[in-house]
């Protein structure tokens, strides 16, 4: 059981050329699945946009128009500056995070089993075929996205306030120039907390969800088909899996929404003059 859980929580990793140590390992499964999700998002939205009609829209076009309108309305209500990138950025964040989260809806053994079979067909040991399919359950993915948002926050602040105004606020807000050291300390803490709150919230929720699915799968691990308790455990496993899947759909959507909204709020705060 312990080996089964460890195997599922182990990434497909590669070492960067010319480097040594754990720091320079790349979680290749997270990178590839994230890239596939991004390519699927771009391809599908471009396809729908090219087939869009001004007449009665189809179901897919209607759903995407509702999503775009919802995100655009959220940006208009929250972001009070002027920028052409905020709405497309927010839509990209929501859809991409949701797609990566949605990988947790797949049966926990499906893709790892297929990957182990492919590993064995190529003459490798399937016991060392590692694959984690939820990129947002990887702290490197969520922290990478939060750092990108953090850099955009600094860019928006510099663009709307200028270099002098941007750095002046570090020493004058919120308590005025007489408390410059205290203002600077608060600002540094505030800036550091933003990427941490974005990354750890998403990672914690998705890691916990993935782990619960694994623990549900463990209920019938190695069970005998001839024993009556196996069927009782199987029934409990089905009920628990169904209930957690239904609840987890809400979680993955909510986490994508929270990541998007907090990104908009932080960008709006960077654009406002204090």
- For the annotated catalytic residues, the residue numbers are 197, 201, 205
Q: What would the two tokens of residue 64 be?
A: 């995407």
Q: Are 41 and 92 in contact (CB under 8 A)?
A: yes
Cβ-based burial of 115 (10 A; exposed 0-12, middle 13-18, buried ≥19): middle
Q: What does 29-59 look like in DSSP terms, one character per residue?
A: HHHHHHHHHHHHHHHHHHHHHHT--SSS--H
109's CB contacts (< 8 A; 6+ apart) are: 217
- Provide the 3-class DSSP secondary structure of residue 74: helix
- Could you give the maximum distance between any two Cα atoms of the chain, in Å? 78
Distance from C-alpha of 61 to C-alpha of 58, rounded to nearest angstrom: 5
What values do phi and psi take at 27, rounded to 5? Answer: -80, 90
Count of residues making up the chain: 274
Structure tokens at 22: 């754990």
């Amino acid at each position: 059981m312990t080996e089964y859980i460890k195997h599922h929580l182990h990434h497909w990793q590669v070492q960067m050329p010319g480097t040594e140590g754990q720091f320079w390992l790349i979680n290749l499964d997270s990178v590839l699945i994230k890239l596939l999700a991004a390519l699927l998002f771009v391809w599908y939205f471009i396809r729908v946009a090219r087939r869009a009609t001004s007449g009665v829209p189809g179901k897919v076009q209607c759903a995407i128009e509702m999503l775009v309108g919802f995100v655009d309305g959220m940006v208009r209500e929250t972001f009070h500056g002027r920028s052409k990138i905020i709405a497309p950025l927010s839509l990209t964040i929501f859809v991409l995070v949701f797609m990566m989260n949605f990988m947790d809806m797949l049966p926990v053994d499906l893709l790892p089993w297929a990957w182990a079979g492919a590993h064995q067909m190529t003459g490798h040991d399937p016991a060392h075929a590692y694959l984690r399919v939820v990129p947002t359950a990887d702290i490197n993915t969520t922290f990478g996205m939060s750092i990108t948002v953090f850099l955009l926050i600094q860019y928006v602040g510099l663009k709307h306030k200028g270099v002098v105004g941007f750095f002046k606020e570090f020493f004058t807000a919120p308590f005025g120039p007489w408390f410059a050291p205290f203002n600077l300390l608060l600002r540094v803490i505030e800036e550091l907390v933003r990427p941490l709150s974005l990354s750890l919230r998403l990672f914690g929720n998705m890691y916990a969800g993935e782990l619960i699915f694994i623990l549900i799968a463990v209920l019938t691990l190695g069970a005998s088909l001839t024993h009556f308790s196996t069927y009782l455990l199987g029934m409990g496993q089905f009920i628990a899996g169904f209930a957690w899947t239904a609840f987890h759909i809400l979680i993955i959507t909510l986490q994508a929404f929270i990541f998007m909204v907090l990104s908009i709020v932080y960008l709006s705060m960077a654009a406002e003059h204090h």
